[in-house]
Amino acid sequence: MPRETGQTKAARLKKIITALDRTYPEAHCELDHRSPLELLIATILSAQCTDKRVNIVTAEFFKKYRSAADYANAPLAELEQAIRTTGFFRNKAKNIQACCRKLVGQHNGQVPRTMEELTHLDGVGRKTANVVLGNAFGINAGVVVDTHVARLSHRLGLTKQTTPEKIEQELMALVPQEQWTLFSHWLIWHGRRRCAARRPDCKECEVNKLCPKIGVEQRRRNSE
């Protein structure tokens, strides 16, 4: 793909968005939740773990712990045991409890609705805050950059940045704000269903003609 101007990149991105929207009209957050608190806890649990595994664990976990106070007052060992299979369970349990103690002490037991307040909670970085703001409150405060979003942004030639923070800043400058939450869903869904880390299915890909396939081995670009 020849060197792009900002204008041609924006036009290409617009076509990518149209194609992904058409391909995944039902794209949504795949972590099961019924409240902002459940989504916050599920997102903390999803670090280094699949959404599928988190959903199996939270199906029981959320029946037992229903409020921030429930997590704040639970014996730590009990929390650890309940989330053991999500990995890094000691750290996650410690963060969930400390986070919920702050919710109880500083936010009346409710999940706050601003990036600043959310990122002051234990175990909550920009990514988790973006997930909660975008999916529980409908607030487009940023773009969630997980492993799929980082990989696809790079392959699609949208950024050369390598840290999630810098990738997010570039995507925020490129994608219309009202689509920030959806855009990360589209890339995550496409990453899971078509553009896998090791075996991207370029041949069948819905954005094949719009993608420079940066970093993809030649043999995988088998439709060019």
122 is catalytic: no
Name which of 176, 191, 180 is nearest 130 in CA terms.
180
State which residue, 54 or 202, has the beta carbon closest to ligand SF4. 202
Find the shortest distance in angstroms from Cβ 159 to ligand SF4: 14
52 is catalytic: no
State how far Cα 10 lies from the chain centre: 23
Find the shortest distance in angstroms from Cβ 148 to ligand SF4: 10
Which of 127, 166, 201, 203 is the catalytic position?
127
Residues found near ligand SF4 in the complex (CB under 6 A): 155-156, 194-195, 200-202, 205, 207-208, 211, 213, 216
| CB burial of residue 212 (10 Å; 0-12, 13-18, 19+) | middle
The per-residue b/e assignment along 157-188, b for 16 or more CB within 10 angstroms, e otherwise, is: bbbebeebeebbbbbbebbeeeebbbbbbbbb
Whole-angstrom distance, CA of residue 141 vs CA of residue 172: 9
Find the shortest distance in angstroms from Cβ 193 to ligand SF4: 10
Can you state the percent helix, strand and coil of the chain, rounding each to 5? Answer: 60, 0, 35
Find the shortest distance in angstroms from Cβ 91 to ligand SF4: 33
State which residue, 70 or 170, has the beta carbon closest to ligand SF4. 170
Q: Which residues are catalytic?
A: 127, 146
